[in-house]
A and B are shown apart, each in its own frame.
Chain A
Amino acid sequence: MAAVMPAPAASRILMSGNEAVARAVWEAGVKVAAAYPGTPSTEMLEVISTYPDIYAEWSVNEKVSLEVAIGAAYAGSRAFCCMKHVGMNVASDALMTLTLTGVDGGLVIAIADDVGLSSSQNEQDSRYWGRFAHVPVFEPADSQEAYDMTLAAYALSEKFQVPVILRMTTRINHVKALVTVGERQAHVGAGFKKDPARYVMVPGNAGKRIPLMFKRDGELRAEAERSPLNVIEPGSDRRIGFITSGPAYMHVKESFPNAPVLKLGFSCPLPLEKCRELAALVDQVVVVEEVEPLVETELKAQGIQVIGKEILPLQGELAPPVLKPAIARLLGEPVDAAAVAIRPAQVFPRPPTMCVACPHLGVYYTLSQVRNLNISGDIGCYTLGAGHPWQAMDTCVSMGASMGIALGMDKGRGEADKEKRIVAVIGDSTFLHMGMQGLLDMVYNKANVSVLLLDNRAVGMTGGQDNPGNGRDIHGDEAPRIDFVKLVKALGVKEERVHKVNPYELPTLFKTIRDEVKVPDVSVIVTDQPCVLIKDYHKLKPYEVLDDRCTGCGNCLDVGCPAIHVTRRGKAVKASGREVDLSFVRIESSVCTGCGLCVQPCAPDAIQHYAPVSPITLVKKGCSA
């Protein structure tokens, strides 16, 4: 994306939390920003990359992105890094020692927790990193706060030479609300000052930094106690007071407008005196936090009487429909029976689908046709291969895990799996993120695994971001492009065990997979067609079904393309006497892009290129249009 003219200061703009953070990062004079895409954090870096005078990059994984940001901050510049919650698991190795060295230029790490699991494999609570790594945590409750707190985080980071975590959740990242923006402030870095005792963390040096970290904890707690980000709103109904943070604050205010509230914006270290102050004001204190009982546990350990997860769920968002009945029960008041009784109508599920003509369709159709496989999968659009109609993925754990899990399945196979072939499926970006190491481990330890490396030249699931596999940088400009065939050979996979296959050519793909799973070695099959949502993809002539030729066999439906629809169903009795279901189909030619996957399993040649009947032909035939 090309740089655009940022909106002038004092504008009031409808912005998502991600856009608000991006604006504040630019205004804070940040010089370097790095990230790996991940829902719901992705748009922060996407938007930052459109601002002028800031270096932005897609890094290969979150650990590298944090290290890039650390380097910039060591060099005295302001730096930014963001990731989804699980990204910090990858980056945490750097974080846990970064806390000892501290930073020179301000460093803010925005972590987006997916509370409610809209697009993630777990629901972990990133506030723990603040405690684990002894770094402060800010928790905005809407877009304006995300903007304000990002600016405040840079000031705090430089005051205490400490990285600051900005903890967001999906309900902040992806909610749009009004933000009043300001001016960009220039920040001039002091340059890297060599100081081995601080920056070279060998035991002798690190040991001396640990007491400084604990001292800083005390200072930060005092700062949190007087921070304007931690506010008591006294309220008028003193029966229950709430301690809350992030989007849960808005839900509490919505549900109980007259209740006293301690809103924690600077929530780690926890301002204990402020909590005691609230407790003294009210009959009972309820802690409303998404999602783990973290503040609750710390307060109970301090002897402050609070109620939390005894009455509130340990999972998901704490929205008004959850809060209101729980608090009514606590107060012994009647629960709004009408609200509780509301039930949605029973409607079929509508899971996300792969796109029309997606190259992964060919891969999963083929895998579903090969018998006797255990398939370890990975994270991306292709995780959908676990669903209907393919059901051709058996595990999904973490980025790159398909490699190690396949190796473990191979080495740990029991008698029951003796004859099973082990296949691992991974996408291009996930492979570069954390899969390469697993493949090397397989080669080194002589695995019997066939790897399908689905190279669609994009980080598809998060919106088709560029990566080292497609030769474009974050701005869409030309960048060195990784050759996957050369890369896997360099990792030790034998020349004859590496194949590059077009996933739309089903017979070749089928034969390659079937042959390779029989070879007791590591093989890699790279598929090489682009994501249909990026500019590298070119549409072909669409298809249609000739109704009089369709026999209703339903083979084409097994491809799983959402452009194929059933027109009518029927039954037939086979020569064997067995009754079979028939599904006659049509292709929605207006969305078909002619990949030809469904044509290949169609026995009666009922699928032909779409030939719209022109009005002239109709006139000739004597029809009216």
Chain B
Amino acid sequence: MSGTTNILVVGIGGQGVMTATEILAEAAIALGHDAKKTEVAGMAQRGGVVSSHLRFGPRVLSPQIAPGEADVLLAFEAAEGLRWMHMLRPGAAALVNDSRFVPPVVELGLYDYPSDPVGQMKAGGRRVVSFDATTIAQGLGDIRLGNTVMLGAIADQLPFSADVLLDCVLKRFQRKGEKVVALNRQAFESGRAAVGAAEAAIA
């Protein structure tokens, strides 16, 4: 469908992938787009692979993004970015949190964690921007801010202004008081800056 933007958000159950996608959907709707958001979350609990699809535009039919048709990939974990890399259009950008969450099956020695997932993604010919959202969030004093850092990271890759997304993010925290809102604003801007710096380094 022409005019439809496809955003794929991936990570691990419990990281806030679905909430992040929902906020992106709210931003698209605030601008008058039609939107559909869907996810495959495996068994209904924690620690498994989560992929959440957002499609928005004048009118959205199928909620699913087909392989090779995502316009942006936002990955909350490095190996998950690699897992879903094939969903991107050639030349499209992947924004990847470069911190690693190693599952028990790898700790038990049954499988290997890829030695350089980001490098492998780059070798696949896509534009990969990596940064450490987890460390940024920890630096701001709360690992839960990682979600907002990730939304900041995608903010300049969207077909609308970053401020629209920031407004939607902050609306979520309004009830929690000014301090929390200010922290989230800072997390959002840190995410934006991290991607900006990483892109400048690539260029």
Contacts and interface: CB of A to CB of B under 8 A. Distances in A.
Interface of A: 14, 39, 42, 116, 118-119, 142, 171, 174-178, 247, 250-251, 253-255, 257, 317, 319-321, 338-339, 342-345, 347-355, 381, 384, 388-389, 460-463, 557, 560-562, 564-566, 569, 581, 583, 585, 590
Q: Which of B12, B35, B103, B107 has the most CB of A within 10 A?
A: B107
Interface string B60-71: 111110111000
B36 interface: yes
B9 to A, nearest CB: 13
Interface stretch (B45-53, B145-153, B159-167, B193-201): B45-53
Contact of B61 (A39, A250, A583): A250
A355 B46 CA distance: 7
A461 B108 contact: no
Contacts of B103: 348, 350-351, 353, 562
Instruction: Give 8 nearest A-B pairs by CB, closest first.
Output: A353-B47, A348-B111, A352-B48, A254-B62, A175-B38, A254-B61, A342-B67, A176-B37
B84 interface: yes
Q: Which of A254, A321, A345, A351 has the most CB of B within 10 A?
A: A345
B44 A350 contact: no
Contacts of A562: 47, 103-104
B201 to A, nearest CB: 24
Interface stretch (B22-30, B169-177, B181-189): B22-30
B68 A339 contact: yes
B66 A462 contact: no
B16 interface: no
B44 A319 contact: no
Interface of B: 1, 12-13, 22, 25-26, 29, 34-49, 60-64, 66-68, 79-80, 82-86, 102-114, 117, 120, 124, 143
Given A321-B67, A462-B44, A590-B143, A557 B62 contact: no
Given A39-B44, A175-B63, A345-B86, A350 B12 contact: yes
Given A320-B66, A388-B108, A175 B143 contact: no
B143 A347 contact: no
A382 to B, nearest CB: 12
Contact of A176 (B36, B40, B49): B36
A291 B22 CA distance: 29
Q: Which of A42, A174, A319, A355 has the most CB of B within 10 A?
A: A174
A344 B84 contact: yes
A348 B113 contact: yes
A178 B35 contact: yes
Contacts of A566: 102, 107, 109
A460 B113 CA distance: 29
A389 B1 contact: no
Given A389-B104, A461-B45, A463-B44, A348 B112 contact: yes
A390 to B, nearest CB: 10
A348 B106 CA distance: 8
Nearest to A42: B44
Given A118-B40, A247-B63, A349-B111, 14 more contacts: A14-B35, A142-B63, A176-B22, A176-B35, A253-B62, A254-B62, A319-B66, A342-B86, A345-B83, A348-B111, A351-B103, A352-B45, A353-B104, A557-B104
Contact of B36 (A177, A355, A557, A583): A177
Contacts of A460: 45
A350 B45 CA distance: 13
Given A339-B66, A342-B67, A557 B107 contact: yes
Contact of A14 (B29, B85, B86, B107): B29
Prevailing SS type, chain A contact patch? loop
B47 A350 contact: yes
A353 B62 contact: no
B64 A388 contact: no
A345 B86 CA distance: 7
Contacts of A583: 107, 109
A250 B46 contact: no
Nearest to B64: A319
A462 B41 CA distance: 12
A353 B48 contact: yes
16 contacts: A39-B43, A118-B41, A176-B35, A250-B62, A251-B61, A251-B64, A253-B61, A321-B67, A344-B83, A348-B111, A350-B79, A351-B105, A352-B47, A355-B46, A557-B108, A561-B104
A566 B42 CA distance: 25
A320 B62 contact: yes
A178 B29 contact: yes
A339 B67 CA distance: 7
Given A345-B82, A352-B13, A338 B36 contact: no
Given A251-B62, A562-B47, A343 B86 contact: yes
Contacts of A247: 62-63
Contacts of B111: 348-349
Contacts of A350: 12, 47-49, 79-80, 103, 105
A347 B67 CA distance: 16
Contacts of A352: 13, 42-43, 45-48
Contacts of A463: 44-45
Nearest to A344: B86
A176 B66 contact: no
Contacts of A344: 67, 83-86
A4 to B, nearest CB: 14
A461 B43 contact: yes
A130 B17 CA distance: 37
A342 B68 contact: yes
A381 B13 CA distance: 14
Given A177-B36, A254-B62, A352-B47, A564 B107 contact: yes
Contacts of B86: 342-345
A545 B64 CA distance: 44
Contacts of A177: 34-37, 60, 63
Contact of A250 (B37, B41, B63, B109): B63
A593 to B, nearest CB: 14
B105 A348 contact: yes
